[in-house]
Chains A and B, each alone.
Chain A
Amino acid sequence: MSAAAEAATDAALEPESGEPALVVDRLTTSIRIDRRWFDAVRDVSFEVHRRETLALVGESGCGKSLTALSVMGLLPAGVGRVSSGRITVDGVDMTAASEAKAQAMRGDRIGMIFQEPMTSLNPVLPVGFQIAESLVEHRGLSRRQARRRALELMELVRIPAAAQRLDAYAHQFSGGMRQRVMIAIALACAPKVLIADEPTTALDVTIQAQVLALLADLQRKEGLAVLLITHNLGVVASVADRVIVMYGGDVVESAPVKEFFSRPTHPYSEALLAAMPRVDRSAAALMPIPGQVPTLPDLPPGCRFQSRCPLRIERCAELPPLIALAAAPAHGVRCWVRAP
């Protein structure tokens, strides 16, 4: 590629400036256990621009999936609710919108793919039909037109012999292929935002790489803003532009990816990186983080990582604010010790 073409491609790879496609502003989501409501996601804020991938990282139970469901408006009624905050998708305030408006947005301007492609696809409906549905619903296409577009989408996500498999069923595809179908479904109406909740966790390692590459490619072509939820730091390192680390419902660190990996600042982030098994270290050097995430009713006030933090001080009983580091303004940390 010539220098000019490379420069042009690079420019195309940069996150777009201008209005972010997804803005989450001070989101608090509560869930109900046995009649009481607990804040499972606390005061979370972030934005994702087009052509940018933001990774949301944390252990199970830290609230990352709940955040995603809150953004989509898919919290199970009666059990979960958005208690405060604002979610803006492509300029539209989702939190203030009526259910009809939110439904219109879902699948059209914001799409989501999930962790388990087998159970996330309807086993008794043909795959092509499932892809075509949102086109019929949101774009008013006829069945035939939608079907043609579904075929194009299947080819876009690189499903081989797509024409023959348009009427196949989910059980006739392998895991990686099913996830591609999920991607086709999510991208059918060309949404501005894509949420990917652990899209590769259930897949073989080799397939993981293919699916991630596909996602990156589609992001570039379609100009997607991607919110990637994962607990796998390796995935973060290879595809994300920015990282947010969550623990116990709080954002504890937020930084561009390179910055994060070269200077992880929050004690939890450090521990996460140290706990990752690495090929160049022996198994004896494995350092699990002691303790477990406390259950929701047992979470302490103040910093939620207290009980497992080696640097804990008295002040940690009070919740620290998220503060930008002096040396790197794009890097925020929530810790009295590391970011006083």
Chain B
Amino acid sequence: MLRFIVNRLLLALPTLWAVLTLVFVLVRVVPGDPTIVVLGDQASPAARAALRERLGLNKPLIAQYADFMVQIAHGDLGRSLVTNRPITSDVAAVLPYTIELTLAALVIGSLIGVPLGVVAAQRRDGFVDWLARIVSLAGLSFPAFVSGILLLIAFAVELRWFPVISTVTTTDPLQRLRALALPSINLGLIMVAYVTRVTRSGMLKALSDDYVRTARAKGLPNRIVVWRHALRNVLIPIVTVVGLYLGVLIGNAVLTEIVFNRPGLGKLIVSALNQRDYSLLQGLMVVTALAVVVANILTDLTYGLVDPRVKAG
């Protein structure tokens, strides 16, 4: 098992390199003058020249690339153009909230999506199946900000069950949960959509597989056949799908934070955009890239837990 983990970590390095290069390309190799984007076209030539120097834009591209990579290898994400604070500390301050939200959404997504998919598969065209299809259609059709706003209107404004603007940073666990509830439901809805779908289709296939026939031939009761024999196998495609859509989840987490005014990467991105903080934006992109790579590693490791053929073979 340890060898498997080390293996995966090593394999992640080229991916990490590739994704970081992608960020570099996205941020830099674009037509137009970034100093104009940042300072506006009214800026003086002197100010623009100073900015160019500061951003290292006068060096050849390869040198910029090398600087960029070396900086990141040292864990330095640069400094904000506006506040001049190190970006790493700004990110470290808000990252836990983003992680908290993402994990909560994963939990909600799985706890609702898996049973929904299992029951839906067993009674095709029954009520639960119909419900599952509606729920997954809804999850896929609501952009995260639309569902977020509608949730806010319904539950915070109209029903007043939850605060509209909540203190997320409180240490009181009940308050914290209350503040977490709506955003994680919002983000979780998308997870539920994906998880329900893949669970349902995976179960439909698994229930017609030969080993289920063997399990029934052993006289095992239906609930063991479904939840132990069939579902264990469906975990593999579920992990695959969750892994595929982790990028979407991260993107929507950012969006949810914006709508619900939670501290997190989302707020930082918005302020970076509003203030034209080019460096902060780049730093945040790097963080996102790292998050994606880490998420993929975790997905692969989960495979090792779920599929014995991966571990041994």
Chain A interface (Cβ < 8 Å from any Cβ of B): 72, 74, 103-108, 111-112, 114, 116, 119-126, 133-134, 137-138, 169, 171-172, 182, 185-186
| Chain A residues positioned under 8 Å from B217 (CB to CB) | 72, 74, 106-107, 111-112, 114, 186
Asked if B52 is an interface residue, CB under 8 A from chain A, the answer is: no
User: Which single residue of chain A is at the shortest CB-CB distance from B214?
Assistant: A120
Shortest CB-to-CB span from B122 to chain A, Å, is 11
Shortest CB-to-CB span from A239 to chain B, Å, is 21
Q: Quick check: A116 and B232 within 8 Å, CB to CB?
A: no
Q: Quick check: B232 and A125 within 8 Å, CB to CB?
A: yes
Asked if B45 is an interface residue, CB under 8 A from chain A, the answer is: no
CA–CA, A74 to B213, complex, Å? Answer: 8
**Size of B's binding interface in residues, CB under 8 A:** 25
Given contacts A103-B221, A169-B312, A172-B312, contact A122 B211 (CB under 8 A): yes
Asked if B220 is an interface residue, CB under 8 A from chain A, the answer is: yes
User: Which single residue of chain B is at the shortest CB-CB distance from A111?
Assistant: B217
- From B210, B216, B221, B306, contact of A124 by CB (8 A): B306
CA–CA, A126 to B312, complex, Å? Answer: 12
Question: Apart from A120-B211, A182-B214, what 14 extra A-B contacts exist at CB < 8 Å?
Answer: A72-B217, A106-B217, A107-B220, A119-B211, A121-B214, A122-B211, A122-B232, A124-B236, A133-B218, A134-B219, A171-B308, A172-B312, A185-B218, A186-B217
Q: Quick check: B220 and A123 within 8 Å, CB to CB?
A: no
| Chain A residues positioned under 8 Å from B228 (CB to CB) | 125
Shortest CB-to-CB span from A233 to chain B, Å, is 26
Q: Quick check: A171 and B309 within 8 Å, CB to CB?
A: yes
Shortest CB-to-CB span from B132 to chain A, Å, is 20
Asked if B33 is an interface residue, CB under 8 A from chain A, the answer is: no
Asked if B209 is an interface residue, CB under 8 A from chain A, the answer is: yes
B interface, by DSSP: helix, strand, loop or mixed? helix
Q: Quick check: B210 and A119 within 8 Å, CB to CB?
A: yes
User: Which single residue of chain B is at the shortest CB-CB distance from A124?
Assistant: B232
Shortest CB-to-CB span from A112 to chain B, Å, is 5
| Chain B residues positioned under 8 Å from A106 (CB to CB) | 216-219
Q: Quick check: B210 and A125 within 8 Å, CB to CB?
A: no
Chain A CB count within 10 A is highest, among B214, B236, B307, B313, for B214
Asked if B233 is an interface residue, CB under 8 A from chain A, the answer is: yes
Chain A CB count within 10 A is highest, among B213, B217, B221, B308, for B217
CA–CA, A114 to B218, complex, Å? Answer: 12
| Chain B residues positioned under 8 Å from A123 (CB to CB) | 211, 233, 308-309
CA–CA, A120 to B212, complex, Å? Answer: 8
CA–CA, A252 to B209, complex, Å? Answer: 32
Shortest CB-to-CB span from A126 to chain B, Å, is 8
User: Which single residue of chain A is at the shortest CB-CB distance from B212?
Assistant: A122
User: Which single residue of chain B is at the shortest CB-CB distance from A129?
Assistant: B228
| Chain A residues positioned under 8 Å from B219 (CB to CB) | 103-108, 134, 137-138
- From B211, B215, B229, B313, contact of A171 by CB (8 A): B313
Q: Quick check: B308 and A169 within 8 Å, CB to CB?
A: yes
Chain A CB count within 10 A is highest, among B216, B219, B232, B308, for B219
Given contacts A119-B209, A138-B219, contact A125 B309 (CB under 8 A): no
Q: Quick check: B233 and A134 within 8 Å, CB to CB?
A: no
CA–CA, A119 to B214, complex, Å? Answer: 10
CA–CA, A169 to B233, complex, Å? Answer: 13
| Chain B residues positioned under 8 Å from A137 (CB to CB) | 218-221, 224
User: Which single residue of chain A is at the shortest CB-CB distance from B228?
Assistant: A125
In chain B, residues 185-236, which have Cβ atoms closer than 8 Å to a Cβ of chain A? 209-211, 213-221, 224, 228-229, 232-233, 235-236
| Chain A residues positioned under 8 Å from B313 (CB to CB) | 171
| Chain B residues positioned under 8 Å from A186 (CB to CB) | 217
